[in-house]
Structure 1
Amino acid sequence: MCGIAGLFLKSSALEPQLGVLMSTMLNVLTERGPDSAGFAIYGAGKPDQVKFTLRSSKAFDFLALAETFGGSAALYGDHSVVSVAESRAASFKAKLEALPEIVIVSVGKRIEMFKGIGLPDDVGRRFGLSGMAGTHAIGHTRMATESAVTVDGAHPFSTGADQCLVHNGSLSNHNDVRRTLIREGIKFATQNDTEVAAGYLSHKLREGAKLDEALKAALKDLDGFYNFVVGTENGFGVLRDPVSCKPAVMAETNDYVAFASEYRALAELPGIEAAHLFEPEPSRVYFWERAE
C-alpha cells in the first residue's frame, strides 16, 4: 500500500509555501499508510556548513553537543538539526557514531529529514512541516507489511549526503543486493528493502554516476515492483518498474513538478487545473534539476 508525495519547485515564489503544500499532499494519503510517516525538506543551506538531522529515543542535550563542535542546533522534539562547519563535519560524525543513543537520520548541505510513528498529520504537526520552506520535498506514509512499525522503518531513507528515497512496492532481491553493498562499505540500520534501494543509489553516485544514470542501472539490478521518488541537493527523480502495477500520477506546470500515489493528493496544488497530468511510463527515468 503506502503513499508517496513529492514536490519539486521550479519557481522560487512558491518556496515559502513548500511545507504547507507538502503537508496537504501527504495528509490526503493517510489511508494508504496510517502507521508511520516521514518527510525530507531541501531548504536553505550555507556553503561552509553541514546539517545533521539527529534523533534520540532518550532525553539528550543536542545544544551542548553542537556547542562542543562550535555549531548550532534546532530542536524538534526527539529530532534535532545540528549545523557544524564543513571542516569539522567528519570529526562530528565520528563522535555521533560513538554515541549509541543517537541515530543519524540524514546528512547534507540542505536536507533535513524527519520521521515518526502515527498519522501523517500528527507527524507533520510534531515537526512543524507546514512552517518549513525550501525548493523540494518528499514525503511518505507507510503501511508496514514486511516489518515492524518503528521510527527506523519509516521512510524516507537517506544513505548519502543530501540524498533520500521513498518507495512504494517490494524488492525481491534486496537481501542479495544488501550483502553486495555491505562489502562495498555501505552501512544499513534496518532490514527494510527501501533502505537497500537508497544504498544502491548512493553506491552508484559514489562511483561517479549521475542520478539519472543510477536510476537506469537500478532497472537492471533491482528486481520487484516499485515506484521510487528520489531527492538530491538540487534534483528530483522518479522511476517506475517495468510492470508499473503500483499507482502513480504526476503533474507539471511552469512552477512545479509533483508526484503522488493518487490524484486527489494533487488536487489542492496551485494551478493544478492547467497542469499537464500524466502517469509516469514504465522503466523511464524522470529527472528535474535546479541550477545551484
Structure 2
Amino acid sequence: MCGIVGLHLRNPALYAQLGELLTRMLCEMEDRGADSAGIAVYGDPTWTPPGNGTVSLIDVGATADEVAAALGAELGTPVTVVLRGTTCLVTAGVDSETLLAAARTLYRDVLVGGFGEDLAVLKGVGSPSSLAKSWGLADAQGWQGVGHTRMATESAVTPGGAHPYAVGPQQCLVHNGSFSNHATIRRELRSAGVEFDSENDTEVGARFVAHELAAGVDIESALHHLTETFDGFYTLLVSNRDSFAVVRDAIACKPAVIAETDDWVAMASEYRALAHLPGIEDARIFEPEPEVIYAWTRGKVLA
C-alpha cells in the first residue's frame, strides 16, 4: 500500500500556492506507508531558476560546497547546490543534459533522481512530512507537483527505491501496486540498451515509458502500450513539464480518485487528500476507469 498525489494547476494565480496545497495532499497520505517519500515540483523559480538546467543527485557522497566546486570547474560556470538529507539539488546556467553529463563524469556511481529545466525531484527514506519540512515544500511555487509515500513490497527501503522515478528528461512516474512480470520486461529493456539503477519494479515501468517517449511515441500511446505489456495491479501517475496522466490496470483494485475544476486537476489515492483544495465543493470528482488513459496538458484536455 502506497499513497500517490498529483496537482496540475491551470490558473496561474494559484502557482504561488502549489507547495502549500501539495504538502497537505501528500502528508494526508502518510499513513499509507512512510518507508520513504518523494516529491517532484515543476516550475519553482528558486529550485529550478528559468534558463538553468537542474539535476537531482541521490547519495552523492560529498558536501554541497564540494559538489559546487567540482561541477563548476568541470563546466566552467558557477553551480548552485542545495543538499538536504540524501538529495543534492544542482542548478547551473547550462541545459540539463550537459549538467547531467558533467555529474556522471565526476560521480560515476551516483543515482540520478531527476533532471530537466523545470523539474526538482526530492526524495529519501522516511516520512513525507519530514521530507516536506526539510525542504520547505509549503513555500514552493510552480504549475505542477507529484508526490508519493511508499510502503516497500518489491525492493529494499533505500533513497534510490523511493518514488518518483524520473528517468527521462522532465519526466516522473509514481506507482501504487506491483508489476508481476517486471523481471521479464527489465531483461527485454536491457537487451534494447536501457540501463537500470535499482531492482524496483516501478523503475521498470518508468524506463518503459521513457523508452517509448524517446522513440517518439506520445504519452497516451505509451501508457496504452504499458497496459498491454505489464501484468499486475497498479495505479500510475505519469508527468512531464506540460502533462499529467493517470492509468489503472484492468482490475483497478488500487484506489484512485480524480477531481477537476477550471482552475486545476488533481488526483490522489484517497479523496481526503483532495478535500482542502480550493473549489473542491464544485469539482467534477470521479474514479478513473480500468485501463482508460486520463491525460491533461497545459491549456488542453487530452481525455
TM-score for the superposition, normalised by structure 1: 0.94
TM-aligned CA deviation for residue 233 of structure 1: 1.6
Within 5 A, what are the aligned runs for 1:9-24? 9-24=9-24
Mark the CA change 1:281 to 1:27 in structure 2 (over 3 Å): closer, same or farther: same
Query: Gapped runs of 5+ residues in structure 1?
Result: none
Unmatched segments (≥5 aa) in structure 2: none
Asked whether the equivalents of residues 87 and 124 of structure 2 are also in contact (C-alpha less than 8 Å), the reply is: no
Determine helix, strand or coil for the equivalent of 1:14.
helix
Task: Give 1:171's aligned residue.
Answer: 179
Q: Which amino acid aligns with 1:107?
A: F
Identify the residue that residue 27 of structure 1 maps to in structure 2: 27
Is this contact kept in 2: 1:105–1:158, CA < 8 A? Answer: yes
The residue number in structure 1 matching 2:68 is: 63
Q: Tell whether the 8 Å contact from 1:39 to 1:140 is kept in structure 2 after alignment.
A: yes
RMSD: 1.9
Q: Which amino acid aligns with 1:50?
A: G
The AA in structure 1 aligned to 2:87 is H
Q: How does 1:195-274 map to 2 (within 5 A)?
A: 195-274=203-282
Q: Within the alignment, does 1:53 sit opposite 2:61 as a pair?
A: no
SS at match of 2:159: coil
Q: Please give the secondary structure, in 1, of the residue aligned with 2:149.
A: strand
TM-superposed deviation, 1:55: 2.6
Where does 1:23-172 land on structure 2 (aligned, <5 Å)? Answer: 23-43=23-43, 44=45, 48-56=51-59, 58-60=61-63, 61-68=66-73, 69=75, 70-77=77-84, 78-86=86-94, 89-90=97-98, 93-100=101-108, 102-172=110-180
Displacement of 1:74: 3.6
**Contact 2:154–2:201 (CA under 8 A) maintained in structure 1:** no
Q: 1:224 Cα shift?
A: 1.0
**Alpha-carbon distance in 2 for matches of 1:25, 1:95:** 33
Distance 1:92 1:172 in 2: 32
Q: What code does the residue aligned with 1:118 have?
A: G
Distance 1:157 1:247 in 2: 20
Letter in 1 for 2:5: A
Equivalent residues, number: 292
Matching residue of 2:295: 287
The separation in 1 between residues aligned to 2:245 and 2:37, in whole angstroms, is 20
Task: Please give the alpha-carbon distance, in whole angstroms, between the structure 1 residues aligned to 2:138 and 2:68.
Answer: 24
Identity %: 42
TM-score normalized by the length of structure 2: 0.91
SS where residue 27 of structure 1 aligns? helix
Moved over 3 A (4+): 44-49, 84-92
- Separation in 2 of the partners of 1:114 and 1:122? 12
For 2:69 and 2:11, the matched residues in 1 are separated by: 38
Distance in 1, Cα, partners of 2:49 & 2:142: 13
